[in-house]
Amino acid sequence: MFEIRVICDSSEADRIATTLAAMFTTGMERRYPSRNDAGKVRLYVAADHQPLPEPCPTPDEAYATAPSIISEIGWTADQAATRPFGTTLGREFWLRKAALLDRIAVADETEGWTSDATKLATEGARRLLQFDRDGDGRYGGAPHWPEHPQAEADPRAYVRQEYAHWAKHQ
């Protein structure tokens, strides 16, 4: 356990306390006027590191029950081609497309092939992340939710997490 002291404008204290609570396990915060600067406060927060989240599933774990890659190519193509003009594609489409691209990239990486698959899988994963950030909160969220720094750092792991959660609840 440790203590964090922040000197800030009083108007920023709530935002800073909220950010610290998201990053650490925090206790009661204490606020005092700054000794030298008018309009500033001293913010003291007892904090501890949050427990490490569970690792995201491996590709083998996430895609254990997934249909064949060929079948998923057919499904995503069919969904994109048959939707009425002007309608948006739903989360299932973006999730399955991102998972499909990830599976292709994993296969290429395993075989040592050079292709655009890794780049495309990362772009597909980022599209799912954005969809989930903008959406209605229907994502698995464990161990990482869409706004979590680790989800942004490794979006393909986020896809595996979400696909495993989705497949389990089908």
Q: Contact at 8 Å (CB) between 155 and 129?
A: yes
What digits encode the pLDDT tens for the residues 73-90? 999 999 999 988 888 899
Lowest mean pLDDT among 11-25, 50-64, 75-89, 149-163: 50-64
Which residue in 124, 151, 128 sits closest to 53, CA to CA? 151
Q: Contact at 8 Å (CB) between 167 and 150?
A: no
Residue 96: φ, ψ to 5°:
-70, -35
- Confidence band of 53 (pLDDT split at 50, 70, 90): low
pLDDT above 90 (res 103): yes
- Of residues 67 and 48, which shows the higher confidence score? 67
Could you tell me which residues are beta bridge partners of residue 26? 47
* Mean pLDDT score of the chain: 91
Interacting residues of 23 by C-beta distance below 8 A, sequence separation 6+ = 50
Give the three-class secondary structure for 143: coil
Cα(75)–Cα(72) distance, rounded to whole angstroms? 5
Q: What is the average pLDDT across 43-58?
A: 82
Burial-class residue 34 by CB neighbours within 10 Å (0-12, 13-18, 19+): middle
Q: Where are the domains of the chain?
A: 2-49, 59-168
What digits encode the pLDDT tens for the residues 104-155? 999 999 999 889 999 999 999 999 999 999 987 788 877 888 988 888 889 9
Residue 80 is predicted with a pLDDT of: 92
Residue 150 is predicted with a pLDDT of: 85
